[in-house]
Amino acid sequence: MADNSTRTDLFSPVKLGKIELANRIVMAPLTRGRVNEEGVPNELNVTYYVQRASAGLIISEATNISAQGRGYAMTPGIWTERQVAEWRKVTDAVHAAGGKIVMQLWHVGRNSHVDLQPNGASPVAPSAIKAGGNVYTAKGIQEPSIPRALNTDEILGIIEQYRHAAEYAKLAGFDGVEIHSANNYLLEQFIRDSTNHRTDQYGGSIENRVRLVLEVVEAVTGVWGSGRVGIRLSPVTTEVGNTPLDSNIMETYGYLIQQLNPFKLAYLHFVEGTTGKDRIAPENVDLDILRSLFEGAYIGNNNYDLEMAISRRSESKIDAVAFGRPFISNPDLVNRLRYSIELTSTNSDTHYGHGEKGYIDWPNANY
């Protein structure tokens, strides 16, 4: 049986900030819709994450930082003590299996519906611009509701939601947290001038539009320390909600990345292209140039296969690589990649909300 560890160091230990990984294969965050309407994890979730603990690092499914931050039914949260207690069962089990896991902190912003919001309130956003696409509610698939623009004096409350969630993730036993500033959820809605039409200190100039992200990073690193906080960015994705790109991607994200460097974050997790679809960038955008501006560890993400990962690692273009969908149907993905064992195909019909089926019933390969 061929051992690909002789060709690459992807299967060797690495340290991202203060987080020590057994290998450079990262499990990307994957929304699976397997919790209750209170956002509380359960024993199915424990089993699911433990099955995948051979990943060098697991990034949890996107986890709502507050009831207001919720945009999809049956997604987990991290703002109540009960959520903390049940997440603790997940982290304890992953650690017992030798794995490492960080929590991805999530506020969806405008990508929500009044049925998902406390007291049927409107979703919040930088500006009152309706999102495209759909969201999933207890009543089924619906279009997002028209959001309301956050008042300036409410933004401190958003930052506090992130800080509180970071505190609770620590209590839940995670090895760190990842700030979800990608896929056109709340933080990226502030970054892009296509979704941010504000005229206060959080809108207009690039410096103003990235202000909230940097304030959130400051708050979260204040809880965890820089070496256990990562961030996810997606400069050229239109997902979710068919969101238009920023008018000057290189300048906007280049500035943001350089402003992140003083925080000495554990890593930058970068969506290279359109999330889950393709690796294409506009002609005037060079994602490798943006990547090179970050002074810490870099996790590449989006439609990687082993050969691409080996190639980009050999060119020092990635420090680690994140796989998403392959981890759904291949809980032992690390060993399958290491020993060139055929991957099991996933079934999109069971990606969301089908109990055990398509969630914890995938077999390991014979080695």
- Helix H or strand E encompassing 320: strand 320-323
> Is 255 an active-site residue?
no
Cβ within 8 Å of residue 53, ≥6 positions away: 93, 94, 97, 98, 99, 101
By C-alpha distance, which of 82, 80, 97 is closest to 46? 97
Question: What are the residues whose beta carbons fall under 8 Å from the beta carbon of 302, sequence distance 6 or more?
Answer: 271, 272, 273, 274, 275, 276, 279
For the beta carbon of residue 248, count every other beta carbon within 10 angstroms.
14
What whole-number distance in Å separates Cα of residue 175 and Cα of residue 91? Answer: 9
106: which strand partners? 64
Check 48, 72, 136, 185 and give the catalytic one. Answer: 185
Nearest to 360 by CA among 52, 48, 93: 48
Residue 97's nearest CA partner among 39, 27, 18 is 27
**Residues designated as active site:** 185
